Amino acid sequence: MPSESTALDRLVAPTGLPTLGLELPLDNDWGETRLRTGERLFGVPDLSEHARLAQLADDLGFAALWVRDVPLHDPVQFGDAGSVFETFTHLGHLAAITKRAVLGTAAVVLPLRQPWLVAKAAATVDVLSGGRFVLGLASGDRPVEYPLFGLDFHTRGAAFREGVEILRAAWAPRSPGEGIDLPDIGLTADRRLEVLPKPTGSTIPIAIAGSAQQSAEWIAENADASLNYPRQLGALRKKTDEWRQLTGDASKPYLTPMQLDLLDDPTADATPLRLGMRTGRLALIEQLRAMGELGVAHVSFNLRPGDRPVEEVLKELAHEVLPHFPTS
């Protein structure tokens, strides 16, 4: 686990208030107006402004930009195409066009990817971004994908554990002439094999999304952070209390993505959305404060459910909400 300062540390404030980030794509293609008019194919965002809006978000002071990993768009069962771009290619581009925001994955479906290549790709993003990378990992929830990759959906939990072990071993610092040592898979140190580049630190922080087919104890031991969907405050308290009890003195952060429809009226009451809320900014600020009191270290907003222009929402959040919360 990381001991030196990492990108993950930039998402955790000593005040106990959450830092605030954004989930890409920066679009509002789920907004009621767009859905009603059929202006766009559901779940496929408009990426024509993706670079400009990412740079704007970085300049406005959002703590992190997160991308999702959706290998195959399934318009029948799921609809959502996620961030559309291939994850690590996209992150390399973001590393080049942003300066300060942490870059994260929410989350890479590890069992569908060759873990040695994930190790190399993740370390590349970490180096190119100057150590601004957090690798979010998931086991995947789309059964249709696994057979197409020649993999078994029902054994993805075991594949996930093995993948995490390989990532940690690939990134670990070693003395000159030493190689990766994983005898369980037939690789011994005398082969002197390495994965390059090495991360900027001793490893890359890993955030595990949901349960990933693992026990809570395994996640607490092997992850550097928990990445969990939002809940009502009562249920959230149970999850954050459990996480603190499992991680003990390690103080591993709890991160939450949240769908947000920010209304024009700043005084509008909050109403629930699936995995988020529709609200004015004043109620949003109170909700975020309450989440911080319960132990949420970082909240990332998915703006796709809204109808307002995304740039307008970004600027309102930056000028009226971000000042109430710590910056990275």
Smallest CA-to-CA distance from 325 within 88, 19, 94, 64 is with: 19
Contact 205, 132 (CB under 8 A): no
For residue 39, give the CATH number of its domain: 3.20.20.30
- Structural domain containing residue 54: 7-324
Give the model's confidence band at 38: pLDDT under 50 very low, under 70 low, under 90 confident, else very high.
low
**Distance from C-alpha of 86 to C-alpha of 135, rounded to nearest angstrom:** 15
**Distance from C-alpha of 156 to C-alpha of 230, rounded to nearest angstrom:** 24
Contact 51, 96 (CB under 8 A): no
| Residue 193: burial class (beta carbons within 10 Å; 0-12, 13-18, 19+) | middle
pLDDT at 32: 83
Following DSSP, what letter does each residue of 252-291 receive, concatenated?
--EEEEEEEEE-S-TTPPPEEETTEEEE-HHHHHHHHHHH
Q: Which helix (H) or strand (E) holds 143?
A: none
Angle at 56 between CA 52 and CA 59, to 5 degrees: 140
* Residue labelled with tokens 């630190």: 201
Contact 103, 133 (CB under 8 A): yes
61: left (phi over 0), alpha (psi -120 to 50) or beta: left
189 found inside a domain: yes
Q: What is the pTM of this model?
A: 0.96
pLDDT, one tens digit per residue, over 189-229 is 999 999 999 999 999 999 999 999 999 999 999 999 999 99
Cα end-to-end span (Å), the chain: 21
Say which DSSP state 199 is in.
Answer: P
Torsion, Cα of 243, 241, 250, 99 (10° steps): 70
2 found inside a domain: no
Average pLDDT, the chain: 95
Is the pLDDT at 251 greater than 90, yes or no?
no
pLDDT at 41: 73
Tokens of 222: 């092997």
- Which amino acid is located at 166 in the chain? I
**Distance from C-alpha of 54 to C-alpha of 90, rounded to nearest angstrom:** 11
Q: What is the rounded average pLDDT of the residues 283-307?
A: 97
pLDDT, one tens digit per residue, over 12-30 is 999 999 999 999 999 999 8
Smallest CA-to-CA distance from 25 within 40, 47, 41 is with: 47
Contact 145, 112 (CB under 8 A): yes
Q: How many CB atoms lie within 10 A of CB 119?
A: 22
**What 3-state class would DSSP assign to 150?**
coil
206 found inside a domain: yes
170 found inside a domain: yes
Torsion, Cα of 155, 158, 160, 162 (10° steps): -140
Is the pLDDT at 308 greater than 90, yes or no?
yes
Overall size of the chain counted in residues: 328
* Residue labelled with tokens 């768009």: 73
167 found inside a domain: yes
Tokens of 267: 């005084």
224 found inside a domain: yes
pLDDT, one tens digit per residue, over 49-93 is 999 999 999 999 999 999 999 999 999 998 899 999 999 999 999
Cα–Cα distances in angstroms (integers) from residue 64 to residues 18, 95, 105, 178, 326, in the given order: 12, 12, 10, 35, 12
| Number of domains present in the structure of the chain | 1
295 found inside a domain: yes
pLDDT, one tens digit per residue, over 158-173 is 999 999 999 999 999 9
Q: Which helix (H) or strand (E) holds 106?
A: none
